[in-house]
Structure 1
Amino acid sequence: MPTTTKMKNNSSKQPGNRMFRMPATVKKKLVAGVILLAFLVTGTGASLFWVQEPASAAASQAVKSDAKPADLNDSAEVAAFVDKVMKSNMDLFEIPGAVISIVKDDKVLFSKGYGHSNIEKDAPIEPETSMFRIASTTKLFTWTAVMQLVEQGKLDLDTDINTYLKSMKIPDTYLKPITLRDLMTHTAGFEEGGMGYQITTDEKKLPGSISETLTEHMLARVRPPGEVVSYSNYGATLAGLIVEEVSGMPYNDYIQKNIFDALDMNYATVQEPIPASLDPYKVLGYASENKKFVNKPTTFEAGFRPAGSGTVSALDMSHFMIAHLNDGSYGNKQILKPETAKLMHSTAFQFDKRLPDMALGFFELNVNGQHVISHGGADTLFITELYLVPEEQIGIFVSYSGGNGDDAKAGMLQAFFDHYFPAPEVKLPASPSEVDVQKYAGSYKFTRRNFSHIDKFFSLLTEINVSVSDNQLSIGQGEEQMLYVPIEENLFQQVGGPNQMAFRTNESGEPTEMMLDFLPGLPLERTQLIDQSKFWLSLLGISFVLFISVLIGYAFRVRSVNKMEKPKKRAVWLLVVTAGWALITCVLTITEVMNMDTLERLSHISNSVKIFLIMPIIFVGLTIALLLCTFQVWKNKYWTVFKRVYYTLIVLGAVALSLFFYHWNLLGWQFG
């Protein structure tokens, strides 16, 4: 979750990352050191996490807040405080439109809109009626629907989902079947995917059949279910299909009848495009261009509707929050039984029992000592988050229509908790002296990544490198460095902060997986050398130096080459052509793939991408020809031994680049 070169890749604002878009400051801390920017992007701004103290801070120093909590029962004070934070964030993070709704004890405590729903028409945001796209927050409707059918006895959380699927079946890749519990905790074991098909801006492609979409773009099962979290839009969409096929109602209709109508949510829909009667109330999404807000096309989920098609007003979302906080009831309406609501909010899966992780469909957070369950969402324009604090009967819904919404929502949450629930004192216990800190050092990649298609390439540079500094684990560099000290077996505490890091180990005691408590649902696994960015970047760097030396050498010795015998001359020309083609291929092909913006990457495969992917194939052909030529070079003893060795090194560089294209699925057209 490292940068020196920034590329045009806004993939942190992609539907594929909805819940798990790391707040910008944290991303910067975690990815410092990677050569190029990929898949997740770095940013600046506020974060919901503790400000890191200098690396030299004593491990025993406490982290605490001396502030006295403000009174949440003082509605005037709440209004003034939240209003001030929201307005400040609107200006600071250049946000065109936002809305917030806060509930407590079965009532709306505060609700207000900011900015414009339509800048061109000077239409203000109205919390009652302005409808924001909430992307992956939609999953909470899907999970609620699943639990309604569970309590009716039509579904069981621990039964093979193929029992319920009628129009498609999930392959039996592993002996253990996938269950609804696995889907709701994102532990089904699917790989990530989405390039070219996850979203669309073309209404002609709507509505899309959920079943046909899931069948056409079926993702591989890469881990046994129930072992580790890997956030999955595909899994959530499967749950929506099950709701559809078991209830006998189309997904849209089921959600409308059993959730929206039941909770008097009159400005809410999962239909795409939204119904004509609600169209006047939709909030437009904006991007900043040349210091102006420019309206951009609406994105649609099509066949992935259960994972992110919701468009809802803030006041309607307050009804939904109240129902979940009030044991499933809103007014005289009951959408879940009390025991079902409690089950949904209870911990259902943990990477480590000492850290927050997953409830049924909700992600757990520990904010200033408070147990929070949440779910967020993001598409190319909108940023949304929903937080529930069941023990305090508090719910917060916030949504933004552009700008740096990630930083704004994180800043809003932390400001709220600092004001009303100041952080308790956190003291570091003495570090166990017997802990072998060095064994945890290494490279770790997120479990949520692709293995089978071209999407895999985007995980090349997305990793966290853990190093050891003064018997402490270190992430990041310089001012962005975060230090952790061991406090228990496989558990580390942040120096100067409240965050923790846990590891899983194998039977030999070697770390296999890692989790940071402020990234619920985003565990990482120890990376083998073949998947490490430093391995490939080193090989590519050496190869590029060799290729460039060939071109420079040829430029200086072109006359002497032309005087060579034809076989030797052909061998040199083939070497020059291969070296030149290698550099051109890398510059054009990789740049073309990396430079796709989020909308382009997830909505279609452009012809230019297809054309550029021909180049690696041609390069592999040249490499094979070069290998055959190398045998002739040695057999016929062209030139001196030194020159033959040099020639062979160039060939090995070409082989390394060919393997790079093959390993990262850039060889051919491997689309999902």
Structure 2
Amino acid sequence: MRGSLKSLFAGAVALIAQPALAQPAPAPVPVNPAPVTTAASAVPIPVPAAPALTKADVDAWLDGYLPYALARGAVAGAVVVVVKDGQVLTQRGYGYSDVEKRTPVDPEKTMFRPGSVSKLFTWTAVMQLVQEGKLDLDADVNTYIDFKIPPRDGKPVTLRNIMTHTAGFEESIRGLISSKESGAPLGETLKRWVPHRIFAPGTTPAYSNYATALAGYIVERTSGMSFDDYIDRNIFARLGMEHSSFRQPLPEKLKPLMSKGYATAAGDPKPYEVIDAAPAGSLASTGADMGKFMIAHLANGGPLLSPETTNMMHTTTLSILPPLNRMALGFYEQRINGQTAIGHGGDTQWFHSDLMLFPKENVGIYISMNSSGKEGVTGAIRSTLVESFADRYFPMERIIKAGVDEKTTAEHARMLAGTYISSRRPESSFMKALDLAGGMKIAVDDKGNLVLPFKNTGGEDSKWVETAPFVWEEVGGHGRLAAKLKDGKVDWVSIDAISPIMMLQRPVWYASPGWLTPGVIAGLVILGLTALSWPIGAIARRRYGAQLPFAGKELKAFRLVRGFAAVVTLVLIGWVATLASMMSDFHLLGGAMDWAVYLLQIVGTIAFIGMVAVAAWNLLLVWTGRRGWFSKLWSILVLVAAVVILWAAFAFHLISFGVQF
């Protein structure tokens, strides 16, 4: 699925999973990068002659890049396919599909899981039915389904909203990926829980696997056949994609062709991943079959769609934050070197893929890897592959010139500085607490330059130049960043790599990780020390024969404060451990941790509220009694810590009851 959900816990919710924001790849410098001329350059640098896009040149280029990148990143195997002018230019397998058996990747026969690249097949199916007049992109989706999607701000969800990821749903995570035998029926999955609508439709990109699964269900109900049967008959059969399937488990004849999935190349193979929201990411396919799909879309739809429908699908874009990349109908846009490419990336827990079409050149490129590798390396490998491919074969001089004076640039940078959260996020459940990982922070250095929380491919801080008011471009790269203002203040920020599918937003002040995250950490330290003072003090008194100088209410308050402090500390540690476990192993998202969540919700509600009550009582007793200044100061700190933690527990739904998320 687009974006590893592990990133939801690792900070900057759902961002690390995006290719351009992954950890730096241990990859070579791109060959023939597009020259960049900055404002300081007196003479533009000429563009080097592009090599001919031939099989021999692409093979040599790929062989010089991928084996080293995969080995350094601990990725077991990969497949790459390049198509041009209606033909497969080259298809290459690298590494192993089964490390133990030393089975090499065969682009004709080895099946990979392209994750959310699967969505392009779902969107193609939707557009086929639109073409037949059976679906209307602008009709209320409730017209086509047997349950209710409530309106938001009086507006219904439409298929156009769904295909542009502006339906407004919060992130739905439960049961996303599991290792069970098969997926639940699609209708059952969708009716189990309808995610809350947190944005008005058509206003805010917020990537949604649930919404895509809903589109697949509409295909199912409208066509009168199962989603799997529809795709088999109307896409795979038409293209001769004999080694592809959305079915879970795989058909018996295809199972021997399936690559193993790995965390790293040296690790044990992982079970086949089952995705309940199947239309959003359950495809398994060979590189050769994916080449056929690319050729069809580049050929004005080929046997899948009419040229008119294909053109509408590829070029109907929604502009949310100009001039950044936009979302087309199912494809996301990537403008690079004068080319308007369209494509989609995808991730399961173990497989990581990208597909990009260059319609002007009638060229497409696809990569899929069967391992997560070290430090999120697959994101950098695939983004570097696509960008370097464009730099090599479609080079263009880029002149990055400051379009704003230094003083104004510094002021604009200061306006951007702060903490942001992703529009793609859980909002109504305890999973909102993932925002406490810190959100995404934009800072300003002492020279007034933006300091962004990601590196370039070489692992260095990226340098950005403001080329127009509130638009920055990356020097030496292809990234752009832009901000949207509201009432004279920065409201949204995004960058090209994610702008089609999500925005970075200023959180509401009362739920901002900018102050609540350090506040909770400080509170945890204070309450932890308070809890520890009880056994440590008891040991010290026993050793020196001292007596506890309290009795009556003061003794009871002494014990209650420390007891509740211990419970609150353990509950917070329990939440961290539970969320970390669930985000590190997606199979735990299907219900295996429900017992822990229920326990933490029950005990936590009592502990968080009780801590404030006993801390307030303790403060009253301390300040009306004959206690020293340190006791009085500490009683204040304990109450403040308890209030901040209670506030965070309410704001991030740790005080709640339920396991739908």
TM-score by length of 1: 0.86
The CA deviation at 1:567 is 1.5
The CA deviation at 1:208 is 1.7
Do the aligned partners of 1:157 and 1:181 also contact (CA within 8 Å) in 2?
yes
Partner of 1:388: 357
Question: Per-residue CA shift, 1:310-364, capped at 9, x if unaligned?
Answer: 01111111111111000011xxxx2100011111111411223322211110111
Partner of 1:313: 286
The 1:65–1:160 alpha-carbon spacing in structure 2 relative to 1, beyond 3 Å, is farther
SS at match of 1:486: strand
Partner of 2:164: 185
Partner of 1:200: 178
RMSD between aligned residues:
3.1
The CA deviation at 1:644 is 4.2
SS at match of 2:225: coil
The 1:662–1:67 alpha-carbon spacing in structure 2 relative to 1, beyond 3 Å, is same
SS at match of 2:368: strand
Partner of 1:371: 340
The CA deviation at 1:541 is 3.7
Letter in 1 for 2:642: A
Q: For 2:8 and 2:552, locate their aligned partners in 1 and report how far apart those are by CA, in whole Å.
A: 54
Structure 1 residues 342-361: aligned runs within 5 Å? 342-361=311-330
Letter in 2 for 1:456: K
Partner of 2:607: 619
Do the aligned partners of 1:228 and 1:351 also contact (CA within 8 Å) in 2?
yes
The 1:147–1:551 alpha-carbon spacing in structure 2 relative to 1, beyond 3 Å, is closer
Match among 545, 548, 553 for residue 567 of structure 1: 553
- Mapped pair 1:170 → 2:149: yes
Q: For 1:603 and 1:50, locate their aligned partners in 2 and report how far apart those are by CA, in whole Å.
A: 44
SS at match of 1:286: coil
Partner of 2:217: 241
Q: For 1:611 and 1:543, locate their aligned partners in 2 and report how far apart those are by CA, in whole Å.
A: 22
Do the aligned partners of 1:365 and 1:373 also contact (CA within 8 Å) in 2?
yes
Q: For 1:265 and 1:360, locate their aligned partners in 2 and report how far apart those are by CA, in whole Å.
A: 23
Letter in 2 for 1:299: E
Do the aligned partners of 1:102 and 1:110 also contact (CA within 8 Å) in 2?
yes
Match among 145, 168, 178 for residue 125 of structure 2: 145
Do the aligned partners of 1:48 and 1:414 also contact (CA within 8 Å) in 2?
no
Partner of 2:654: 666
The CA deviation at 1:475 is 1.7
The CA deviation at 1:209 is 1.8
Do the aligned partners of 1:482 and 1:494 also contact (CA within 8 Å) in 2?
yes
The 1:471–1:443 alpha-carbon spacing in structure 2 relative to 1, beyond 3 Å, is same
The CA deviation at 1:12 is 7.3
Structure 1 residues 327-476: aligned runs within 5 Å? 327-329=300-302, 334-402=303-371, 403=373, 404-432=377-405, 436-437=411-412, 438-469=414-445, 470-476=447-453
- Mapped pair 1:633 → 2:621: yes
Percent identity over paired residues? 30
Q: For 1:616 and 1:430, locate their aligned partners in 2 and report how far apart those are by CA, in whole Å.
A: 53
Do the aligned partners of 2:26 and 2:69 also contact (CA within 8 Å) in 1?
no
The 1:176–1:328 alpha-carbon spacing in structure 2 relative to 1, beyond 3 Å, is same
Letter in 2 for 1:184: M
The 1:583–1:208 alpha-carbon spacing in structure 2 relative to 1, beyond 3 Å, is closer
Match among 560, 578, 591 for residue 592 of structure 1: 578
Do the aligned partners of 1:619 and 1:658 also contact (CA within 8 Å) in 2?
no
TM-score by length of 2: 0.88
SS at match of 2:52: coil
Question: Per-residue CA shift, 1:379-426, capped at 9, x if unaligned?
Answer: 111111111000000011111111343232223223322321224232
Partner of 1:280: 256
Partner of 1:122: 102
The 1:355–1:593 alpha-carbon spacing in structure 2 relative to 1, beyond 3 Å, is closer
- Mapped pair 1:524 → 2:498: no
SS at match of 2:398: coil
Structure 1 residues 55-74: aligned runs within 5 Å? 60-61=40-41, 66-72=47-53, 74=54
- Mapped pair 1:134 → 2:96: no
Partner of 2:464: 484
Q: For 2:163 and 2:491, locate their aligned partners in 1 and report how far apart those are by CA, in whole Å.
A: 24
Q: For 2:522 and 2:281, locate their aligned partners in 1 and report how far apart those are by CA, in whole Å.
A: 44
Letter in 2 for 1:213: T
Letter in 1 for 2:18: M
The CA deviation at 1:245 is 0.9
SS at match of 2:171: coil
Pairs aligned (count)? 631
Higher mean C-alpha deviation, range 657-666 or range 225-234 = 657-666
The CA deviation at 1:471 is 4.2
Q: For 2:469 and 2:211, locate their aligned partners in 1 and report how far apart those are by CA, in whole Å.
A: 33
Question: Per-residue CA shift, 1:487-542, capped at 9, x if unaligned?
Answer: 32332233454422111122x22221111113232321122332332311332243
Q: For 1:51 and 1:323, locate their aligned partners in 2 and report how far apart those are by CA, in whole Å.
A: 30
Match among 572, 586, 590 for residue 603 of structure 1: 590
Question: Per-residue CA shift, 1:265-284, capped at 9, x if unaligned?
Answer: 11111111111121121111
Match among 501, 523, 526 for residue 543 of structure 1: 523
SS at match of 1:622: helix
Letter in 1 for 2:643: V
Q: For 2:615 and 2:32, locate their aligned partners in 1 and report how far apart those are by CA, in whole Å.
A: 55
Gaps spanning 5+ residues in structure 2: where?
none
The CA deviation at 1:580 is 2.6
SS at match of 1:376: strand
SS at match of 2:95: strand
Q: For 2:9 and 2:306, locate their aligned partners in 1 and report how far apart those are by CA, in whole Å.
A: 36
Partner of 2:64: 84
The CA deviation at 1:141 is 0.5
SS at match of 2:74: coil
Q: For 2:9 and 2:338, locate their aligned partners in 1 and report how far apart those are by CA, in whole Å.
A: 29
Do the aligned partners of 1:428 and 1:493 also contact (CA within 8 Å) in 2?
no
Q: For 1:101 and 1:624, locate their aligned partners in 2 and report how far apart those are by CA, in whole Å.
A: 60
SS at match of 2:317: strand
Q: For 1:11 and 1:148, locate their aligned partners in 2 and report how far apart those are by CA, in whole Å.
A: 34
Partner of 2:494: 515
The 1:100–1:494 alpha-carbon spacing in structure 2 relative to 1, beyond 3 Å, is closer
The CA deviation at 1:308 is 0.7
Do the aligned partners of 1:201 and 1:603 also contact (CA within 8 Å) in 2?
no
Do the aligned partners of 1:20 and 1:522 also contact (CA within 8 Å) in 2?
no
The 1:461–1:369 alpha-carbon spacing in structure 2 relative to 1, beyond 3 Å, is farther
Structure 1 residues 220-259: aligned runs within 5 Å? 220-259=196-235
Question: Per-residue CA shift, 1:603-628, capped at 9, x if unaligned?
Answer: 33324454444442342253154056
Match among 639, 644, 647 for residue 635 of structure 2: 647
Do the aligned partners of 1:173 and 1:221 also contact (CA within 8 Å) in 2?
yes
Partner of 1:325: 298
Letter in 2 for 1:569: L
Do the aligned partners of 1:9 and 1:594 also contact (CA within 8 Å) in 2?
no
The CA deviation at 1:211 is 1.5
Q: For 2:465 and 2:163, locate their aligned partners in 1 and report how far apart those are by CA, in whole Å.
A: 33
Q: For 1:306 and 1:537, locate their aligned partners in 2 and report how far apart those are by CA, in whole Å.
A: 36
